[in-house]
Structure 1
Amino acid sequence: MSDFRTAIWPALAAAALFGGSTPLVKLLVGEMPALLLAGLLYLGSGVGLVVIRLLRDRGWRASGLAADEWRWFGAAIVFGGLLGPVLLVFGLTRIGAGTASLMLNLEAVFTAVLAWVVFKENVDRRIVLGMLLIVAGGAVLAWPSAGSATVDGVGLLAIAAACFCWAIDNNLTRRVSGSDALFIAGTKGLTAGAVNTGLALLLGAALPAWSAAWAAMTVGFVGYGLSLVLFVMALRGLGTARTGAYFSTAPFIGAAIAILLLGEPTPAPFWLAAGLMGAGVWLHLTERHAHVHTHEPLEHTHPHIHDAHHQHEHDFDWDGKAPHSHPHRHVAITHKHPHFPDIHHRHGH
């Protein structure tokens, strides 16, 4: 039986952590330049996750990435860790956190389009309709209206560009999602944080007050680091497009916090966009997919339990604890059950 039901919860938890971080980042925007803030957000993420991994493993442990996976991982760091955060922070300097939070729904749209068109992941009509509703909501937000003080074309474009960078990141990260999630998220955060922070300082930015730096790194650890760990775990069980769909609940959390915490105005287009996007997300969350399918022989490494897809023997002394991780081989099998395009269901239709 596929583990897609259990994978839903990490996706939703990742959405909650990331969505809640956007209004908090907005509060920090005036404290330091955009590039430096983006660097500190990811630096906090990387440092925190690396420390957790070292404590968990009682020292350094190999990443588990195959030789041909490092290029995908490196490109994911560039788009998701270096470019995306800078564009988001820049966008937040020009538009409200509530509007920016809803615009982040475009990440799910871009993620799904790339997954379907470039990486050939399966798509259902229900998901397509949901994506169209989310796009319609984004168009409502971007449409100029009289008396609107929160709509800024450059700011909206920057947020959209950040979403596209993260969509590329999501699809590339899917290629390595079977590896240690803490290593993937921690390395991405540490690398992106160090590069962006270093560039900001080289360009003349001054270090902020310790309290502001600590706040940025804490927000980054929770909203970017822990969120990314959960996102990678969800990718294993849901595939890229569906994980992005569940993750698209994040903007509503961010928008609600922006309204409550920052007291931002909510004009009629805001609520119309929220309704359209909410309907699109509902279509995603209620999708079910089942048909007869064949698993080709496959050998890989990832955390697993001995379910219907993992009926294998061990060539080492196993203590019976699960989930556990080791190289294992799948034999060919044909069956039918509800599933998403996870790491075991990347078949054609």
Structure 2
Amino acid sequence: MSNNLESKHRTYLKQKFTVLSKFRNKTVGAGFIFAIFAAAFSALPNVLPKSILIEHSVDDTIIPNPMMLVFVIYVANSLLFAPFRKSSRKTDKKTGKTTFVLLILLGLAEASGTLSYTVGLEETTATNASILVNSETVFAILLGVMIFREKIGRQEMFPLFLIVIGSILIPVTTDIYNNDWQLSDFMMGDFLIALSGFFYCLDTFIAKKLDDSIKTRHLVHVMSCTGAVMTLGLMLLFQIPFDISLEEFSLMSVVGFLGIGITMVFFVMALRLIGAVRTVLIYSTTTVFSIVYSVLVLSESITILNIVSAGSVMFGLFVLRNRISAD
């Protein structure tokens, strides 16, 4: 009798373990899919705005101002991610105020990064821009050392060095060499792309301070509203005309919705299913997707230096984030 009960208990545990194992495998698989889609959609704003700028330069028509393109992105997102009803959850007034301020700062940092990137994209190639924006990792480490007194181990120096070489030194040096060692509009574009990496880095630090209970939809909505108000203010200040066709408006709305809103939703879902390290490692392939889109959509040529630069960044990110996860 006792042996029979033990046998049944083992069978039950085995069946339970099998079910849990299958469920975990499906969960991990879904997490990887969300992370890959986040990387693929995140690359869209890196490339598609350039197609509008190129099309107008070829047709000799008025080129839409980059601020206008960014304004459309955030207006579309603020409308599409608007919450339909207020949350019934009661929060402490002080906590609620702090959270709201952080959300506004997040929106300002995100909008500044998007604006800086789009303006820089007008002067440089989409391939170059997709590599340079990885300077975000370099800025994140530098801020961590200077502000939060974090230390960089010897084993972390090599991958960091690879990221610096790939994301900054190779692209910038190549541009200077191609322009007879003189500053040019192309170089200014590179500088603005690198600056966008700094703003995206601030974005990440601010996001870490936010409460995990905040819904992703609410976060994207407030961030997008802030971005729309900021760009609108700049357009009024610099008297930039609201000149954009319906086709371009539709394209930029889709780019903003997928490239910023849906990207953030998928990123957060992947984060919850497979953890931070795996998600960030997969999300790093945004550079690869951006280069592929640059070739397919813009017919840009890929040089050996582009491959070396992107490869250096990807390998450096892989080694560095694996090292961080081990610690």
TM-score of the superposed pair, with normalisation by structure 2: 0.73
Letter in 1 for 2:196: A
Please point out which of 163, 166, 172 is paired with 1:134: 163
Q: CA deviation at 1:287?
A: 4.3
Please point out which of 231, 252, 271 is paired with 1:216: 252
For 2:43, what is the secondary structure of its paired residue?
Answer: helix
Identity of aligned pairs, percent? Answer: 21
**In structure 2, what is the equivalent of residue 194 of structure 1?**
229
Please point out which of 21, 34, 39 is paired with 2:71: 39
**In structure 1, what is the equivalent of residue 195 of structure 2?**
161
Q: Distance in 1 between matches of 2:154 and 2:33?
A: 24
Question: Are 1:26 and 2:55 an aligned pair?
Answer: no
Residues 145-183 of structure 1: CA deviation (Å, up to 9, x unaligned): 3479x9921111000111101100111011115021111
Q: Would the alpha carbon gap of residues 71 and 125 (structure 1) be closer, same or farther in structure 2, given more than 3 Å must change?
A: farther
Moved more, 192-201 or 72-81: 192-201
Letter in 2 for 1:211: E
Please point out which of 239, 256, 263 is paired with 1:227: 263
Letter in 2 for 1:38: V
**In structure 2, what is the equivalent of residue 113 of structure 1?**
142
Question: Are 1:14 and 2:38 an aligned pair?
Answer: yes
Moved more, 263-272 or 158-167: 263-272
Q: CA deviation at 1:116?
A: 5.1
Q: Would the alpha carbon gap of residues 60 and 155 (structure 1) be closer, same or farther in structure 2, given more than 3 Å must change?
A: same
Q: Would the alpha carbon gap of residues 44 and 69 (structure 1) be closer, same or farther in structure 2, given more than 3 Å must change?
A: same
For 2:86, what is the secondary structure of its paired residue?
Answer: coil
Q: Would the alpha carbon gap of residues 147 and 84 (structure 1) be closer, same or farther in structure 2, given more than 3 Å must change?
A: closer
For 1:61, what is the secondary structure of its paired residue?
Answer: coil
Q: CA deviation at 1:251?
A: 1.7
Q: Would the alpha carbon gap of residues 213 and 141 (structure 1) be closer, same or farther in structure 2, given more than 3 Å must change?
A: same
Q: Is the 8 A contact 1:108 1:244 kept in 2?
A: no
Q: Would the alpha carbon gap of residues 225 and 41 (structure 1) be closer, same or farther in structure 2, given more than 3 Å must change?
A: same
**In structure 1, what is the equivalent of residue 107 of structure 2?**
77
Higher RCO (Cα < 8 Å, 6 or more apart):
2
Q: CA deviation at 1:207?
A: 3.2
1:280-319 superposed matches below 5 A: 280-284=316-320, 286-287=322-323, 289=325
Structure richer in helix, relative to its length: 2
1:223-302 superposed matches below 5 A: 223-233=259-269, 246-284=282-320, 286-287=322-323, 289=325
Number of residue pairs matched?
279
Q: CA deviation at 1:16?
A: 2.0
Q: Max radius of gyration: which structure?
A: 2
Moved more, 87-96 or 170-179: 170-179
Residues 11-38 of structure 1: CA deviation (Å, up to 9, x unaligned): 5432221113311121133541011111
Moved more, 179-188 or 16-25: 16-25
Q: Distance in 1 between matches of 2:146 and 2:36?
A: 25
Q: CA deviation at 1:105?
A: 1.2
Letter in 1 for 2:73: L
**CA RMSD of the aligned region, Å?**
3.2
Q: Would the alpha carbon gap of residues 103 and 161 (structure 1) be closer, same or farther in structure 2, given more than 3 Å must change?
A: same
TM-score of the superposed pair, with normalisation by structure 1: 0.69
Letter in 2 for 1:61: S
**In structure 1, what is the equivalent of residue 97 of structure 2?**
67
* Structure 1 unmatched runs, 5+: 292-349
Q: Distance in 1 between matches of 2:226 and 2:34?
A: 24
